[in-house]
Amino acid sequence: MTQTGVLAGSYRILDLTDDIAGAYGTKLLADAGAEVVLVESPEGSALRRRSTSGAAVDPEYGGPFFGYLTCGKRSVVVTDDDAGRALLAGLVRGADAIVWSKTSAVCHSLGLTPEQLRAEAPHALVVATSAFGREGEWADRPSTEFTLQALTGNAWLRGPKEGPPLMLGGSEGDYAVGIALALALMIGREGLRRAGTGDLVDLAAIDVLALTQTMYHVTYNDLFGRPNRGKRDESVPGVHPAKDGYIGIWVTTGQQWKALCELVERPDWLADESLANMDNRAARAEEILPSINEWSSRRTVAEIMDAATALRIPAAPVLNGRTLPENDHLVRAGTFTTHPRTGTTQPAGPYTVRGEHVPAVPGPSPALGEATEHYRSATLAPLTPRPDRPDPDFDPQLPLAGLRVADLTAYWAGPLASQVFAFFGADVIHVESAGRPDGIRMAASQPHLDEWWETSPFFLAANTNKRDLAVDLRQSAGRDVVLGLVTQCDLLVENFSPRVLESMRLGYGDLSSANPDLVMLRISAFGTTGPWRDLVGYAPIFDYAGGLAWLTGDADGPPTMAAAPADSLGGLHAAFAGLIGLEQRRLDGRGSLVESPLIGPMVAMSGEQVVEFSATGVLLTRQGNRSATAVPQGIYRARDRFRSDLGGPADDWLAVSIETRAQWEALCRVIGAPDLAGDPALATPEQRAAQHDRLDELITAWSVDRTAAEAADELRAAGVPAAAALPAHELADDGPLQARKRYETVQHPVAGTFRIVRFPLDFASRTIPWHRSPAPRLGEDNKDVLTALVGMTEADVDRLAEEGVIGARTNARLGW
């Protein structure tokens, strides 16, 4: 098979994993042209046998989901004998990167460890994936994606006030680990290319989810002395029934709330000024939501969308595996493609380079062992070109040092994307305006302070290691400043609405005229063309339109969404797309336009819904806290525990997820029902699913006598995946994140001292902090940037300040 793409012929990755995270992460590299060799046991990867719809799978090619995740990869079967080990040794010698998984059947059967692979392949990058990291007191504790969600605070934020917390559907956490893996493979490649040396990366799912599942709740709690959301509440508005489906609506600003009151014909709500506050609306959800539901249920999704769009209210239909490929905007944007062997519809790559999705055409997925003899007879050498002598300027702790990034972003997704580059050493210059600063500065600021715009926990956490240039782009002199800046930059990242930069004559054509080598990364909501290009986008909107909300909620209830991950995962995907754009420039010497709309990753993560419906006609849907592959699974009431933030006892919840026969038998022993383990009527997951209600009652009867932490410890000691469902603001002080020291303390000159979660890629060569410098103050680096990079004199800078082109204070209004 001939590989195409920017990495074709220059990167060979040995994939020893058999889970969604490993498959998705290496898929992104295979899509970009890397040679990905999937090492399987004679029985094949567990993913080959996965069938969430229950349909039979092809014994040679696997199910449709496996086909989606493995397009363009090669399959090699390695046996536990001399011939198999010799084959594996040759693959290891010829690999540029090796991905290891703690739960991999191949790694377990062959006794492979990351340290062993690193010793046998010092030339290679080794990425070790696990739940809790390679070492430490949590390293060997059992877990699933479900229990990790509970441990990292996301589930706590969702669900009924008096009922159990509610998980995100669709294996979202596995995909989050997958995009982190893809970033590790691209960033770690710099060491191979520039220094000729490998490295070992510890990639723990718990660390990834701590960053992506919630939005800096520990930082908020440190700054304010109280949690951002200490209890579950409903989104008001949220997901509402229509005549022909569901519509998701999200309101953040006061103007959007006024427009919603007009939309649903409730002018009386405008008279109640307290409802302009999101928290007050959530507290009165039982009063407000029925009225919105009654209004929406008398209209079609299209009618509501038209009316909401006219009023600039963020809204989107709740799409699913059937309706996603039928959506007019997504179809026009080329969001879907077909599997080359089966013709099954599947998501295309989530980003484009020079107007084409990556890949332009997917390669076929492999039959089991189809490349075994090819690699057995080949003499392999690594593909990534190594230097004759190491680059003397290369710092393995800061592998992206030497890159300069103009960061014209705001809120979270864009700043997080550029922060990835800053974490690894790039000079990132955050560009905003004193008159209209980054909007996230307005969120949760401290109004009693003179420089209140410097106190938002969200801005402070997402913008460390950057410099700040505050310049008014609406003025011609401000435009000239940006054009001067980009001549000194390798990458420009922006997440304005599609028409904004063009209206300022700062579109890609203008920027590339100033610097033909520039890579421009655009992070729009729905892309820059198509019917939805101008829709207002917040994180929940992409979860509605991208399919994640469809799988989240109780089986007999509507879809739901809160604590949406679209911003964090969209930002990480955008950073990966930017790295691919820079690789394209390295290959052909030309700059390019890279587009990574936030809807793209959400659709990619809904791939299982899409391919299962396309292949079998079965529409996957919500199951609450239950699972098609783990039975029993749920979040169960535990004994109340003392919550210091609430000043008294509060409800406590235990997450349990059973994936194997051994875990089922252990669960039965621990809860005092050993006879269930041998009951032939409960021998299979399907049989247990039929009696799930009964099993839930038995588990609850045991768990209510213990706190969730006590129950989880007892279950994990017996080999059962279990976890307390933690409030997000407690993450730094409880469980594995505390043990792994995943938070760093930062000192800011205005906001004070607080903690921020670390980035989740632990390179063995790295000992320096992730948050090396605090987020910059507004306009803090105006003079340095303009004199050193744009070529101005200090007199020029003073003149721009006098004319209001640059500044360091804002008159913007506090609040969203």
Report the first-to-last Cα separation within the chain, whole angstroms: 53
For residue 760, whether the previous peptide bond is cis, meaning omega lies within 30 degrees of 0, is: no
Closest CA to 473 of 804, 780, 799, 795: 804
Distance of CA 541 to CAs 119, 313, 330, 502, Å?
Answer: 47, 11, 14, 25
Query: Residue 735 above 90 pLDDT?
Result: no
577, two tokens: 């797309």
Q: Rounded distance, CA 179 to CA 539, Å?
A: 18
CATH number for the domain that contains residue 680 = 3.30.1540.10
Domain presence at residue 508: no
Domain presence at residue 651: yes
Cβ pair 331, 325 in contact under 8 A: yes
Predicted local confidence at residue 432, as pLDDT: 98
Q: Rounded distance, CA 77 to CA 57, Å?
A: 19
Query: Residue 815 above 60 pLDDT?
Result: no
Count other C-beta atoms under 10 Å from residue 310's C-beta. Answer: 10
Cβ pair 722, 715 in contact under 8 A: yes
Domain final position from 729, 746, 768: 729
518, two tokens: 């520039």
Cβ pair 652, 584 in contact under 8 A: no
Domain presence at residue 367: no
392 CB-near residues (< 8 Å, 6+ apart) = none
Predicted local confidence at residue 154, as pLDDT: 87
Please provide the average confidence, as pLDDT, over all residues in the chain: 95
Q: For residue range 293-348, what is the model confidence (pLDDT) as tens digits?
A: 999 999 999 999 999 999 999 999 999 999 999 999 999 999 999 999 999 999 99
Q: Rounded distance, CA 194 to CA 372, Å?
A: 32
Distance of CA 749 to the CA centre of its chain: 31
Its domain, for residue 704, covers 630-729
Domain presence at residue 289: yes
Q: Rounded distance, CA 403 to CA 254, Å?
A: 40
Query: Residue 622 above 80 pLDDT?
Result: yes
pLDDT band with cut points at 50, 70 and 90 for residue 1? low
Per cent of the chain over pLDDT 90 is 89
Q: For residue range 424-433, what is the model confidence (pLDDT) as tens digits?
A: 999 999 999 9
Q: For residue range 146-192, what is the model confidence (pLDDT) as tens digits?
A: 999 999 998 898 888 888 999 999 999 999 999 999 999 999 999 99
Query: Residue 816 above 50 pLDDT?
Result: no
CB contact burial 405-435 (16+ within 10 A = b; e otherwise): bbbbbbbbbbbbbbbbbbbbbbbbbbbbbbe
Domain presence at residue 711: yes
Domain final position from 672, 694, 729: 729
Domain presence at residue 324: no
Exposed/middle/buried for residue 681 (C-beta within 10 Å: 0-12, 13-18, 19+)? exposed
pTM for the full predicted model = 0.97
Identify the residue with better confidence: 24 or 235: 24
Q: Rounded distance, CA 541 to CA 319, Å?
A: 11
- Between CA 391 and CA 396, with CA 393 as vertex, the angle to 5 degrees is 85
Q: Rounded distance, CA 265 to CA 291, Å?
A: 10
Domain presence at residue 17: no
For residue 457, whether the previous peptide bond is cis, meaning omega lies within 30 degrees of 0, is: no
Helix (H) or strand (E) holding 501: helix 500-503
395 CB-near residues (< 8 Å, 6+ apart) = 401, 425
For tokens 């990079």, name the residue. 789
Domain final position from 713, 729, 745: 729
Per 3-state DSSP, what percentage of the chain is helix, strand, and coil (rounded to 5)? 40, 15, 45
- Between CA 684 and CA 689, with CA 686 as vertex, the angle to 5 degrees is 110
Mean pLDDT in residue range 596-618 = 97
C-alpha radius of gyration, the chain, whole number: 26
Cβ pair 601, 350 in contact under 8 A: yes
For residue 160, whether the previous peptide bond is cis, meaning omega lies within 30 degrees of 0, is: no
Predicted local confidence at residue 814, as pLDDT: 67
410, two tokens: 């705001």
Query: Residue 778 above 90 pLDDT?
Result: yes
Q: For residue range 198-207, what is the model confidence (pLDDT) as tens digits?
A: 999 999 999 9
Q: Rounded distance, CA 417 to CA 302, Å?
A: 33
Query: Residue 484 above 70 pLDDT?
Result: yes
Domain presence at residue 706: yes
Closest CA to 40 of 121, 82, 101, 95: 101
Distance of CA 723 to the CA centre of its chain: 22
Q: Rounded distance, CA 700 to CA 682, Å?
A: 18
566 CB-near residues (< 8 Å, 6+ apart) = 413, 539, 540, 541, 542, 543, 546, 548, 598, 601, 602
Q: Rounded distance, CA 33 to CA 170, Å?
A: 27
Bridge partners (DSSP) listed for residue 654: 636, 724
Which residue type sits at 689?
A
Phi/psi for 251 (5° steps) reads -125, 125
Q: For residue range 689-715, what is the model confidence (pLDDT) as tens digits?
A: 999 999 999 999 999 999 999 999 999
Q: Rounded distance, CA 468 to CA 433, Å?
A: 10
Per cent of the chain over pLDDT 70 is 99
Q: How many domains does the chain have?
A: 2
Predicted local confidence at residue 348, as pLDDT: 97
For the chain, what is the total number of helices (H) and then of strands (E)? 33, 25
